[in-house]
Amino acid sequence: MSMTGRVALVTGGGHGIGRATVAALRAKGALVAAADVDLAAARAVADDTDGVLAVRLDVTDRSSVDAGIARCVEHFGRLDCLVSTAGGDRETPEFAEMSDDDWSAAYELNLLGVVRCVRAAVPHLGEGGSVVVVGSVNGLAAWGSEPYSVAKAGLGVLVQNLAASYGPRGVRVNLVAPGTIRTRVWDGQGGPDRLAPMYPLGRVGEPADVANAVAFLASPDAGWITGVTLPVDGGVSTGPIHLLRDRW
């Protein structure tokens, strides 16, 4: 219970990785705001778990972000930790056919969305405060979906800069980069399990795999870790050697 007495806000807390992160932070003793553009989903999380506040927050809208974070501080009296999971990819045409809007939509949600949340949260974070951002392995190597991947890649340098800026105030800032995780985003695509052979550990990830890593980085257990990107990816970043052994 290393986060007892602390308050965390999780964007995207209504579904998937965000929802699992709310549970993981509660298990460490934190009080948690589940902040989501889908208020009904956030409310369902809050109804399920005591110590959770549902907040409507749209990361693509600065005034909504500012109001959502203010609501959390007003309710709990403080904020110690921001976890930014809201994000996602959308169907785009092949690179040469993409519109400027395909690019700016990916940036709005996956990069500027994080910037807006950190900007609003950081004035509240004091000594021992932390920020954990959820990126993607798409930000580490070529996995397709260029606008989404480039936006996620920007997060690595963002957390390094923020870690350097706010470290002297005792605030840590880290990034996790998940591989394929079993959430609703795979529902229309035949499910995630067809990708399992790519993973040296032989399976795709579960939301709790990411949530446990996030909760560790958010907690004082990671008190001397800042500015890092942690792949949470069943080893897929190691490369394809496990698929090629017979041919080597």
Note the residues at the interface with ligand NAD (CB under 6 A): 11-12, 14-18, 36-38, 41, 57-60, 85-88, 109, 134, 136, 178, 180-181, 183-185
Q: Which of 28, 152, 166, 199 is catalytic?
A: 152
Q: Which two tokens stand for residue 125?
A: 């974070």
Q: Pick the closer one to ligand NAD by CB: 18 or 129.
A: 18
Half-sphere exposure of 65 (CA within 13 A, CB side): 22
Catalytic status, residue 199: no
Closer to ligand NAD by Cβ: residue 170 or 182? 182
Structure tokens at 230: 């942690």
Query: CB of residue 164 vs ligand NAD: minimum separation in angstroms?
Result: 23
Nearer to ligand NAD, 102 or 170 (CB): 102
Token digits for 71? 């609501």
- In whole angstroms, the minimum distance from the beta carbon of 5 to ligand NAD comes to 26
Question: In the complex, which residue's CB is closest to ligand NAD?
Answer: 16
Q: Smaller CB distance to ligand NAD: residue 184 or 245?
A: 184
Q: Name every residue whose Cβ is closer than 8 Å to that of residue 154 and which is 6 or more positions away in sequence.
A: 111, 139
Place of tokens 């208020």: 39
Task: Name the minimum Å distance from CB 116 to ligand NAD.
Answer: 10
Whole-angstrom CA distances from 178 to 156, 204, 234 are 13, 10, 9
219 touches 8 (CB < 8 A): no
Strands 81-84 and 52-56: unpaired
Neighbours of 225 (CB within 10 A): 14
CB of 15 to ligand NAD, least distance (A): 3
Residue nearer to ligand NAD on the CB measure, 39 or 128? 39
107 is known as an active-site residue = no
Return d(Cα 176, Cα 174) in angstroms, integer.
7
Least CB distance to ligand NAD at residue 191 (A) = 11
As annotated, the active-site residues are: 148, 152
